[in-house]
């Protein structure tokens, strides 16, 4: 992987970008007062790059794959919470579609990474 380590993984970069986007989206509007949903979607979003980083740093591929699956689950969690936020009027259609597209892309990338690391391990 080189000097960059997990920071060189495109999926980690995209996960970090999603987390930043979620923080921006939830810093205004109805999200500001809804501490429960705001904090939950933020935690789930931060969990994506965090689990990718932790998994990539672990010694075995089996351990790494476990963390990549957790990141994939967190991506589904963010998408679910975005669906709810959209349906209760917290985010508009464009914002929802952006979150959805990012979650789907991250999930696909993680599936490929899991497949590769499962073969190696």
Give the residue from 99, 100, 91, 11 showing the smallest Cα distance to 51: 11
Half-sphere CA count of 63, side-chain side, radius 13 A: 8
For domain 5-120, the question of CATH label 3.40.605.10 is answered with no
Give the residue from 116, 94, 102, 117 showing the smallest Cα distance to 41: 102
Q: Tell me the pTM.
A: 0.93
Question: Residue 121's pLDDT is what?
Answer: 52
Measuring CA to CA, how many Å separate 29 from each of 1, 19, 24, 34, 85?
Answer: 41, 18, 11, 10, 11
Proportion of the chain above pLDDT 90, given as a percent: 87
Q: 2-56 pLDDT, tens per residue?
A: 568 899 999 999 999 999 999 999 999 999 999 999 999 999 999 999 999 999 9
Q: 50-95 pLDDT, tens per residue?
A: 999 999 998 788 999 999 999 999 999 999 999 999 999 999 999 9
């Amino acid at each position: 992987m080189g000097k960059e380590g997990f920071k060189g993984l495109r999926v980690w970069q995209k996960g970090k970008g999603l987390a930043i986007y979620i923080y921006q989206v939830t810093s205004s509007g109805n999200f500001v007062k809804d501490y429960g949903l705001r904090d939950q979607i933020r935690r789930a979003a931060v969990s994506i790059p965090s689990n990718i980083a932790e998994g990539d740093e672990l010694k075995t591929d089996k351990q790494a794959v476990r963390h990549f699956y957790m990141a994939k689950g967190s991506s589904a969690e963010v998408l679910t919470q975005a669906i709810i936020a959209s349906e209760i009027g917290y985010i508009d259609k464009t914002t929802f579609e952006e979150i959805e597209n990012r979650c789907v892309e991250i999930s696909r990338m993680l599936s490929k990474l899991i497949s590769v690391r499962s073969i190696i391990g």
